[in-house]
Amino acid sequence: MRAIKIVLVLIWFIPTMFCTNVDYDHRALVIDGKRKVLISGSIHYPRSTPQMWPELIQKSKDGGLDVIETYVFWNLHEPVKGQYDFDGRKDLVKFVKTVAEAGLYVHLRIGPYACAEWNYGGFPLWLHFIPGIKFRTDNEPFKAEMKTFTAKIVDLMKQEKLYASQGGPIILSQIENEYGNIDSHYGAAGKSYINWAAKMATSLDTGVPWVMCQQADAPDPIINTCNGFYCDQFTPNSNTKPKMWTENWSGWFLSFGGAVPSRPVEDLAFAVARFFQRGGTFQNYYMYHGGTNFDRTTGGPFIATSYDYDAPIDEYGIIRQPKWGHLKDVHKAIKLCEEALIATDPKITSLGPNLEAAVYKTGSVCAAFLANVDTKSDKTVNFSGNSYHLPAWSVSILPDCKNVVLNTAKINSASAISSFVTEPLKEDTGSLEASSSKWSWISEPVGISKVGSFSKTGLLEQINTTADRSDYLWYSLSIDLKDDPSSQTVLHIESLGHALHAFINGKLAGSQAGNSGKAKLNVDIPIALVSGKNKIDLLSLTVGLQNYGAFFDTVGAGITGPVILKGLKNGNTLDLSSQKWTYQVGLKGEELSLSSGSSGQWNSPSSSPKNQPLTWYKSNFDAPSGSNPVAIDFTGMGKGEAWVNGQSIGRYWPTYIASNAGCTDSCNYRGPYTASKCRKNCGKPSQTLYHVPRSFLKPSGNILVLFEENGGDPTQISFATKQLGSLCQHISESHPPQIDLWNSDTESGRQIGPELLLECPNQNHVITSIKFASYGTPLGTCGNFYHGRCSSNKSLSIVKKACIGSRSCSVGVSTDTFGDPCKGVTKSLAVEATCA
């Protein structure tokens, strides 16, 4: 009988023993009664694959993260009203459970407006067609749908017991998103909408706090949070709420036609340290892994398929060094201060112009942050009787208020150079369609070719016509010219965007595309007409729908006119805008599901055309060998979309070239960062390489299908695998010791100097060569190191002896190791190695 009682007690206790209480006070989130310093990072589940999730999350944990943050994408999960989809990359429950299995928390940003450079901001298009609806304001039809979806997601999480209050990993949820940036446009209705959204969210009884980002008037108990490149000056709207940073932009998004953004890690680390210096306790990187905009999910318009974001883990799932490693060290340094950070508020004092100290001290616990916010000059400061050197635009972290464990401008982490190794498309020799040219093809008809086309007087706005079922809308018109046409005839077209192709009598006459700053088009295309009947076919296309701004859902697309023939005989013009146009939504090839590669009457590869617009291509191929990440290099193609085994890898556009202006050879991290600073790749295509996840591929028998709009040469397409090139490190005598060796004891601290540490990322690789080693005054960057005015002649032999044949090695950066090649000069050690 006693045994039975014990079992009954255990059965009752198990469901509640792992439940977690999450609350907050003015300093921090409080988990099970204890304040927490939390480092978070954004990973959007549909921008990678379920096969990638475990490794991405583990790399995040290894980088020092406590929390994974993600949006929930309404249009992904409810593409048709009342019909939900949570399969594959859309499996939100599986993603949250994968995070939990790694031992991390989740911040679930339900929104359900996401922005996120995602198509239509995450809203489903059917929402647009509900009578009387107005988005994101005090509008009953909108609020009803928003509540239904928000409740759907909350209920789904509850059913799977995923909230912390149920023993799950979700410790935070977000309602709405950056509404405060645009709420003034909505007036009083915007204010009442936010109050309604807060009450609606809290009524769902998740058992965890809710936040609103960029919402200074977020009503209690909602926590208002900060988004931006810097949030150290942010103050929550109540002294009962903690200082939280929901989006620290680790880089910026790429647009077709734009240069590639990058944010120096020294600046990013500075921003993080400044936030915690000035009272912050929750910080999230947007993005920690950006990923890929598969299918037609990009917003913008003109957001590129790559959503790499210069994040610590790159688009392909590879750790980006030194960004990942240096931030990992920053996280360790902050966690060494956690006991002091959660115990009290900071005492902030000036140490001079642009110099600031923040001290967290209670009893015997003390931590300090020393900041130099000058954008040019290094400074030496006196603090608590000691002297500290502070590089410009940097923060030194002192977990014991005495010894520096890290300075944000001094990187102890290795750098890595990755490169893409290209190889030709490996033809599947077992395919019945195999031939020397490889590419079967089908021409997409010009103009109207589908059942379901319709005619209407006047020019129609595109989104209202297509409901975004396709990027494409045909506008077709026939006109009769009785007189011989002029050779100077011009077709004038005005469009809301985003791009168009004009065909006259079945032949391409001209094309035009907008850009991320101006989607609208105003184009004059010289054309050749004939006497008698002429056919004008205009193909209008979208490149992702607007995702941001007040009333963004009302921003249109397509050829709304006027459309005018100019330069007719005797200088006459003919306005075609009010004539009866025939319309076709989408392509014939879309209707036939040519993207699967298994349907349609494909023409023989032996006759495959090149540089022909509106062409579908298909090839069978074997996957590149090995396990390295795979991309397709679309050099030689124009613009279109690509599918691998029926799965869209997104839009490709390798012919859209970035401006020659706006890039620099080197990037100075000092001073405030903006999205236009430190750009790369000016004067080159915005994106030529497009990610193909390994899970999309089979060893052989793969099908690649392309729809090419402009005309290209598919025989130039190649595969590329991303591989590690070189591993580098450059450490000076003034660097703090490696953070794992830090000791608060002053005497021990003096005995440990800086070390150069190299480690091959692949566990099965070892260091096989040392391409460069110099102790003295070496110059340059990884891949381009060179000797300065002095260098120890022992450098190469000492580093080779320590490193060759090992996966990892460390070398002390001191005269004890190398001798003194130049006395009285601060020296450093630079090394470039390769792993295999």
178 is catalytic: yes
Residue 143 C-beta-side C-alpha neighbours within 13 Å: 16
3-state secondary structure of 364: coil
In the numeric block, the tokens 């990973």 are attached to: 43
Nearest to 269 by CA among 316, 230, 214: 230
Helix axes 53-62, 92-101, angle to 10 degrees: 40
Nearest to 107 by CA among 17, 29, 197, 218: 29
| Distance in angstroms between the alpha carbons of the first and the last residue of the chain | 64
423 is catalytic: no
Angstrom distance (rounded) from CA 333 to CA 395:
11
- With b meaning 16 or more CB within 10 Å and e meaning fewer, what string describes 63-72? bbbbbbbbbb
H or E segment at 48?
A: none
H or E segment at 406?
A: strand 406-407
Angstrom distance (rounded) from CA 693 to CA 700:
15
**247, 338, 709, 832: which one is catalytic?**
247
H or E segment at 547?
A: none
Helix axes 187-202, 140-159, angle to 10 degrees: 20
Nearest to 286 by CA among 261, 249, 319, 315: 249
- Beta-carbon contacts of 627 under 8 Å, excluding residues fewer than 6 positions away, are 694
**178, 266, 427, 590: which one is catalytic?**
178
Task: Concatenate the DSSP letters of all residues of 432-479 into one string.
Answer: TT--SS--EEEEPPSS--STT-EEEESPPPHHHHHTTS-SEEEEEEEE
Four-CA torsion 331, 333, 336, 337, nearest 10 degrees: -100
Structure token digits, residue 685: 């295509």
3-state secondary structure of 254: coil
Four-CA torsion 466, 467, 469, 470, nearest 10 degrees: 50
In 3-state terms the chain splits into helix, strand, coil percentages (rounded to 5) of 20, 30, 45
Angstrom distance (rounded) from CA 72 to CA 648:
21
Angstrom distance (rounded) from CA 285 to CA 790:
40
Distance of CA 115 to the CA centre of its chain: 12
3-state secondary structure of 738: coil
- Rounded to a whole number, what is the largest CA-CA distance in the chain? 109
Residue type, 617: Y
Structure token digits, residue 329: 């060290």
Count other Cβ atoms within 10 Å, centred on residue 539: 26
Angstrom distance (rounded) from CA 371 to CA 355:
6
- Beta-carbon contacts of 462 under 8 Å, excluding residues fewer than 6 positions away, are 473, 496, 540, 542, 556, 557, 558, 559
Q: Which residues make beta-bridge pairs with 762?
A: none
Count other Cβ atoms within 10 Å, centred on residue 306: 24
Structure token digits, residue 188: 């009083």
| Whole-angstrom Cα Rg for the chain | 30
Active site residues: 178, 247
